[in-house]
């Protein structure tokens, strides 16, 4: 289908993007990689009055190690993160996730900031950001990832606010991200991410609720010396997963437990 | 309503007035008349619309034409030298890497991007590299064969035969 008509402007900097959003009013949207937004436009599920294109904002395309943190610019594309030696060295789980987003064509366009701002329940990076206590940096403030994602497709972002960067802790230790999906390029029906830090394991789950979940019960059991199997049995505790054409809520709970166990076994 | 799009398509510099909502695939097909790029699923899944944007394979149904401003685009029509075939085209022909042929331009463009990065892909790497493209006829076996044959031909620097 053909999208409904909209105005379009290009921003060359963060400042320009925010100014254009402000001027265009509350029905304006940012377009980054567009790999989720353009399908929504074509289905007319989204009908913005104006698109502010941030693909020309080169200042947001970077990977910067800084102390024990890895700062990644919002316009860094999946394919860049998957290949980046800095990401592979300091946060290989991010590279592993990036290499599993969509397909090569999607990865050539889609961006970190786009996934974060879109806040799809099946998005992969929100899981990493929440489980590692990352910080989302916008043009005006810093927000802890656990406070940033509010609900399905809903974040704390103001209408004229732009995601600029995600600050992750460096984590070079054992890690794994497993997505269960029917076809390679699909969204995860459920995903499980695990990362060993000096302080213990971090475990995150994708698409088991409206937003990414940190599996605190699994982490606590591992901390207390449980086996992977025993710990992973707690992965679905407290979850209220959605039921849809791909999976029932019960099946998602099952997947959460199985994928968490497999991810722990494969990471260690 | 129109905005100016300046883009190089298959080596030809163009300037066109386009509506912001015009998708790149419709620009290529309707404005440029390059109908080798196909619209398959219209939901960004099938990859029939794959073109090269500054060398990277992208789905042209999943981009606004205006987002290609300043870029170099290669479509299936621009892949081969004048009057000849690209080694991928020859290999798809010789290995029967198609049946109905609708998905073929997208497969060839995606494979071109894959082979630009990986001169000797394994079966698994070909599978991963082409996971953004769907074929409903072949079962992929001959497509994989064709990509392997093209990779070999390109490594050996074989000249593309004229016509096939």
pLDDT score for B162: 47
Chain A residue whose CA is closest to B18: A8
pLDDT score for A183: 79
pLDDT score for A268: 73
Helical spans, DSSP H, in B49-140: 87-94, 104-117, 123-129
- Check CB contact under 8 Å for A103 and B132: yes
Helical spans, DSSP H, in A158-227: 216-223
Contact (Cβ atoms closer than 8 angstroms) between residue A227 and residue A201: no
* The CA-based dihedral angle spanning residues A68, A93, A239, A110, taken in that order and rounded to the nearest 10 degrees: 110
pLDDT score for B113: 97
What average pLDDT is seen over chain B?
94
- Give helix B87-94 / helix B141-155 axis angle, nearest 10°: 140
Of A55, A175, A143, nearest in space to B71 by CA: A55
Interface membership of A51 toward B (CB under 8 Å): yes
Shortest Cα distance, chain B CAs vs residue A4, angstroms: 7
pTM over cut 0.80: yes
- Tell me: the pLDDT tens digits for A226-256? 999 999 999 999 999 999 999 999 999 999 9
- Check CB contact under 8 Å for B21 and A3: yes
User: What are the start and end residues of each CATH 1.10.150.120 domain in chain B?
Assistant: 87-155
Euclidean distance between the first and the last CA atom of chain B, given in angstroms as a whole number:
45
Give me the residue from A7, A31, A103 closest to B131, CB to CB.
A103
Could you give the CA distance from residue B58 to residue A128 in angstroms, rounded to a whole number? 26
Contact (Cβ atoms closer than 8 angstroms) between residue A21 and residue A52: yes
DSSP 8-state secondary structure symbol assigned to residue A5: P
Average pLDDT of span B122-129: 96
Structural domains of chain A ordered from first start = 7-53 (3.30.43.10), 59-169 (3.30.465.10), 175-267 (3.30.390.50)
CATH of the structural domain B3-77, one choice from 3.90.1750.10, 3.40.50.1000, 3.40.50.720, 3.10.20.30: 3.10.20.30
What average pLDDT is seen over chain A?
97
- The token duo for A180 is 């269960």
Q: How far is CA B2 from the centre of its chain?
A: 27
pLDDT score for B15: 98
> Residue B160: pLDDT above 70?
no
Interface test mutation site (partner A, options B37, B40, B48, B62, max chain A beta carbons within 10 A) = B62
- Tell me: the pLDDT tens digits for B74-87? 999 999 988 899 99
pLDDT score for B1: 66
pLDDT score for A182: 86
pLDDT score for A184: 75
Write the CATH number of the domain with boundaries B87-155. 1.10.150.120
User: What are the start and end residues of each CATH 3.10.20.30 domain in chain B?
Assistant: 3-77
State what percent of residues in chain A have pLDDT above 90: 97
Residue B2's SS3 state is coil
Radius of gyration, CA atoms only, chain B: 16
> Residue A267: pLDDT above 60?
yes
ipTM: 0.93
> Residue A40: pLDDT above 60?
yes
pLDDT score for B164: 40
Q: Report the relative pairing of strands B3-9 and B72-74 from DSSP bridges.
A: parallel
Give me the residue from A8, A39, A53 closest to B62, CB to CB.
A39
């Amino acid at each position: 289908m053909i999208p409904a008509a909209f105005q379009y402007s290009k921003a060359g900097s963060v400042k320009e993007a925010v100014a254009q959003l402000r001027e265009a009013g509350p029905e304006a949207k940012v377009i980054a990689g567009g790999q989720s937004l353009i399908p929504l436009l074509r289905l007319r599920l989204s009908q913005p009055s104006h698109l502010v294109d941030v693909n020309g904002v080169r200042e947001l395309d970077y990977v910067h190690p800084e102390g024990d943190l890895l700062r990644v610019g919002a316009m860094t594309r999946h394919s860049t993160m998957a290949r980046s030696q800095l990401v592979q060295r300091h946060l290989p789980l991010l590279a592993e996730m990036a290499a599993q987003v969509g397909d090569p064509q999607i990865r050539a366009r889609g961006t970190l900031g786009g996934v974060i701002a879109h806040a799809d329940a099946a998005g992969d990076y929100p899981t990493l950001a929440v489980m590692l206590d990352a910080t989302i940096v916008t043009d005006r403030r810093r927000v802890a990832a656990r406070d940033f994602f509010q609900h399905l497709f809903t974040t704390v972002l103001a209408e004229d606010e732009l995601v600029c960067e995600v600050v992750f802790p460096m984590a070079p230790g054992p890690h794994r991200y497993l997505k269960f999906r029917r076809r390679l390029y699909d969204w995860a029906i459920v995903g499980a991410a695990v990362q060993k830090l000096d302080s213990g394991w971090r475990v995150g789950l994708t698409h088991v609720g409206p937003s990414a979940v940190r599996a605190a019960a699994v982490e606590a059991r591992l901390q207390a010396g449980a086996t992977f199997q025993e710990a992973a049995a707690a992965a679905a505790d407290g979850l209220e997963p959605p039921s849809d054409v791909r999976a029932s809520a019960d099946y998602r709970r099952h997947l959460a437990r199985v994928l968490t166990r497999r991810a722990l076994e494969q990471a260690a | 309503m129109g905005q100016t799009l300046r883009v190089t398509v298959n080596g030809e510099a163009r300037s066109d007035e386009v509506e912001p909502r015009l998708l790149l695939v419709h620009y290529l097909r309707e404005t440029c008349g390059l109908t080798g790029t196909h619209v398959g699923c219209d939901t960004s899944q099938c990859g029939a619309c794959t073109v090269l944007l500054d060398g990277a394979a992208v789905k042209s149904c999943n981009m606004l034409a205006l987002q290609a401003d300043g870029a170099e685009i290669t479509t299936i029509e621009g892949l081969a030298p004048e009057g000849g075939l690209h080694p991928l085209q020859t290999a798809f022909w010789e290995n029967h890497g198609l049946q109905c042929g609708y998905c073929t331009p997208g497969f060839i463009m995606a494979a071109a991007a894959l082979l630009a990065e990986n001169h000797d892909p394994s079966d698994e790497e070909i599978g991963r590299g082409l996971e953004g493209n769907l074929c409903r006829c072949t079962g992929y076996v001959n497509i994989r064969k064709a990509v392997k044959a093209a990779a070999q031909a390109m490594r050996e620097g074989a000249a593309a035969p004229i016509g096939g």
